[in-house]
Amino acid sequence: VHTCLNPGVSAPEGKFAIAYYSELSVTVNSTTIPLGTILMHCPIAEVDPVSVKQHDDHIDCSIQPVDSAVITARLTRPE
């Protein structure tokens, strides 16, 4: 998972859990159809140290599963 950290935030060290929410939609011709929110979760992850790069006023990095953990994704329906 590639991420842009907020300005002033350092890349985390060690192992940690992540949860990430993102809106999911599809566009057909000029119509956008919301499908819901995706929840992605990984119980054990860490920052790939090679991926940490300064970008303007913030840091970009990649977070990867470790210790045989997997990232799961679940679609939650729109309300």
64, 52 Cβ separation under 8 angstroms: no
Cα distances (angstroms) measured from residue 69 to each of 2, 15, 22, 73: 17, 11, 21, 13
Rounded to 5°, angle at Cα 73 from 4 and 75: 105
DSSP state for residue 14 in the 8-state scheme: S
**What is the chain's pLDDT, residue by residue, as a tens digit (79 residues)?**
888 999 999 999 999 999 989 999 999 999 999 889 999 999 999 999 999 999 899 999 999 999 999 999 999 865 6
Structure tokens that stand for 39 in this block: 């929840």
Q: What is the pLDDT of residue 8?
A: 92
CA-to-CA distance for 54 and 45, rounded, in angstroms? Answer: 21
